[in-house]
Amino acid sequence: MIRIENFINGLHLPPRVNSYLPCYEPATGALYAEVPDSGPEDVDLAVLAAEQALLIWSGMSQAQRHDILMNLSYLIKENLNKLAQAESRDTGKPIKLAKQVDIPRAVDNFKFFASSIMHFASESHHMPGVQAINYTLRQPLGIVACISPWNLPLYLLSWKIAPALAAGNVVIAKPSEVTPMTAYLLSKLCKEAGLPPGVLNIIHGAGPRAGQALVEHPKIKAISFTGGTATGRRIAKIAAPQLKKISLELGGKNPNIIFADCDYDKALSTAVKAAYSNQGQICLCGSRIFIERSFYDRFKADFVEKVSRLRIGDPSKASTQVGALTSASHRDKVLAYIELAIQEGGHVICGGEVPSLPSQMSNGYYVAPTAIENLSFDCRTNQEEIFGPVVTLTPFDTEEELLLYANSVSYGLSATIWTADVSRAHRLAEKVDAGIIWVNCWLLRDLRTPFGGMKDSGVGREGGLEAMRFFTEPKNVCIQYGA
């Protein structure tokens, strides 16, 4: 049994109340670790440590902060296998995905923002008529909270803490209590990287207790949150009266739009990937697939055939393509949505059940990759975020009809459009409600681009300059140099 500890002021500490929450291995359902059930008293301790560290960290040169964050990046890379194994065990995701996507991306996040701070320039505005010049200082905010979810634990945690630290802030992070392991391992690398104590503090525990205490704390200046829309609203409600800065990356129900003139093989194989990568637990997954009617039947048949060849099972096996969902409660929620889809008149064309797997995995949280057709675009299955290996297939005839379907949801995170017609691609990219549009690709990421959603998918953007601006306070200085 692994006992996870908080990381406060450079030390690994038990929670003040000394109580722990269970941590299960999704592949088998076995209890394998315990995680601190932290509360306000632990947050207070972390705030104290962060306050003391702020002067030291914000007073360092950009080059010094760059070096330390690069050290962290190298250390994550050196420990890639160990971290990937921990991530796979903790989340149920295939080890191959953890090795190829999750951990390399954490390496890149630190590398990217370490170099960003070396290139980050602030604005200057000249007023020649009155012989004055304005320059904008971009100063650290102070103590910031970074709250991340369970689907891409180290990937999303580092996506927040790297820019926050690069900009000179001190951080209190709260990973999901469901998947705390890689955040714990990261905390063990901080000392070796040369991060001064108190600069990064990691509080483990349940959202409504530890997370909420962090959000409520008056000394927290900004909250960067990724998670569900309902939680995002709750955080916004608490943060607003205290006038805290917030960045909210929330849910999605993303359309994957496929026209008959597409590169068929690429669109087909990417549609399968966009549907079921990480068991469909990526906020960017294409869960509503809209297919031009003229080739709907052919596409459907090939899609189902490809899905039937996916290897489901033990996430620790190199050949596994679909692992377990992250928790039993989430598995139950996904299965309930499949039931709902059937009640709504849906026809399950593949999956729809718990797959039969070897006995050691019989208590794991598996759901077979599922596709459903024959549903109206505005039914609950097509409107609500399922966040699992469940997609719907819907034919369309015209662009107008397609836009009605695609934009009918309350979310607006990402969309993918498959077409060889450049004019159509531009036309639709302008009209589809989403913060991120991919044309003839999916999940192709350039870390410099604005990342985030519109409508119920969030407030603000992460990535590149957007992140550096979020984590800094602009202060304009106007100097008149003439008479």
C-alpha atoms less than 13 angstroms from C-alpha of 212 in its C-beta half-sphere? 10
From CA 332, how far away is CA 5, in angstroms rounded?
29
For ligand NDP, the binding residue among 24, 337, 377, 387 (CB under 6 A) is 387
Site stretch for ligand NDP (CB under 6 A), options 121-129, 162-170, 172-180, 425-433: 172-180
Which of 172, 361 has the CB closer to ligand NDP?
172
Binding status of residue 388 toward ligand NDP by CB under 6 A: no
Binding status of residue 42 toward ligand NDP by CB under 6 A: no
The tokens for 366 are 């598996």
- Least distance in angstroms from the C-beta of 230 to ligand NDP: 7
Q: Applying CB under 6 A, what is the total number of residues that bind ligand NDP? A: 32
Alpha helices, DSSP H, located in 60-178: 62-78, 80-91, 95-97, 103-119, 153-166
Site string for ligand NDP, 226-265 (x = CB under 6 A): xxx--x--xx-------------xxxx-------------
From CA 355, how far away is CA 347, in angstroms rounded?
18
For ligand NDP, the binding residue among 413, 432, 434, 439 (CB under 6 A) is 413
Closest CB to ligand NDP: residue number: 207
CB–CB of 388/279 below 8 Å?
Answer: yes
Number of residues written out for the chain? 483
Binding status of residue 33 toward ligand NDP by CB under 6 A: no
Binding status of residue 178 toward ligand NDP by CB under 6 A: yes
Which of 313, 458 has the CB closer to ligand NDP?
458
CB–CB of 286/274 below 8 Å?
Answer: yes
- Least distance in angstroms from the C-beta of 128 to ligand NDP: 43
Which of 223, 428 has the CB closer to ligand NDP?
223
For residues 213-232, which are near ligand NDP according to CB under 6 A?
A: 215, 226-228, 231
For residues 268-287, which are near ligand NDP according to CB under 6 A?
A: 283
Catalytic residue among 23, 283, 285, 350: 283
Q: Residues 272, 330, 332, 287: is their CA dihedral positive or negative?
A: negative
For ligand NDP, the binding residue among 212, 224, 278, 279 (CB under 6 A) is 212
Report DSSP letters for 97-125, one per residue: HIIIIIHHHHHHHHHHHHHHHHH----EE
Chain center to CA of 328: 20
Site stretch for ligand NDP (CB under 6 A), options 44-52, 53-61, 203-211, 361-369: 203-211
For ligand NDP, the binding residue among 66, 93, 160, 174 (CB under 6 A) is 174
CB–CB of 256/232 below 8 Å?
Answer: no
Q: Which value, to the nearest 10 degrees, does the dihedral of the CA atoms of residues 45, 47, 53, 57 take?
A: 150
Catalytic residue among 5, 87, 177, 249: 249
Beta-carbon contacts of 178 under 8 Å, excluding residues fewer than 6 positions away, are: 23, 150, 326, 327
Which of 227, 369 has the CB closer to ligand NDP?
227
Beta-carbon contacts of 269 under 8 Å, excluding residues fewer than 6 positions away, are: 306
Binding status of residue 149 toward ligand NDP by CB under 6 A: yes
The tokens 């969030």 sit on which residue? 458
Binding status of residue 92 toward ligand NDP by CB under 6 A: no
From CA 415, how far away is CA 188, in angstroms rounded?
38
Which of 226, 392 has the CB closer to ligand NDP?
226
- Least distance in angstroms from the C-beta of 414 to ligand NDP: 9
From CA 30, how far away is CA 81, in angstroms rounded?
22
Which of 289, 434 has the CB closer to ligand NDP?
434
From CA 202, how far away is CA 206, in angstroms rounded?
13
Site stretch for ligand NDP (CB under 6 A), options 86-94, 108-116, 145-153, 299-307: 145-153
- Least distance in angstroms from the C-beta of 382 to ligand NDP: 16
Q: 292 an active-site residue?
A: no
Q: 249 an active-site residue?
A: yes
- Least distance in angstroms from the C-beta of 334 to ligand NDP: 12
Cα distance from N-terminal residue to C-terminal residue, the chain? 73
**In the chain, what are the helix, strand and coil shares in percent, each to the nearest 5?**
45, 25, 35
Q: Residues 58, 64, 70, 75: is their CA dihedral positive or negative?
A: negative
- β-pair partners for 459: 248
- What 3-state class would DSSP assign to 383? helix
For ligand NDP, the binding residue among 71, 88, 116, 151 (CB under 6 A) is 151
Binding status of residue 208 toward ligand NDP by CB under 6 A: yes
From CA 48, how far away is CA 51, in angstroms rounded?
5
Tell me which residues are annotated as active site.
Answer: 249, 283
Q: Where along the sequence are the contacts to ligand NDP (CB under 6 A)?
A: 147-151, 174, 176-178, 206-208, 211-212, 215, 226-228, 231, 234-235, 249-252, 283, 385, 387, 413, 453, 457-458
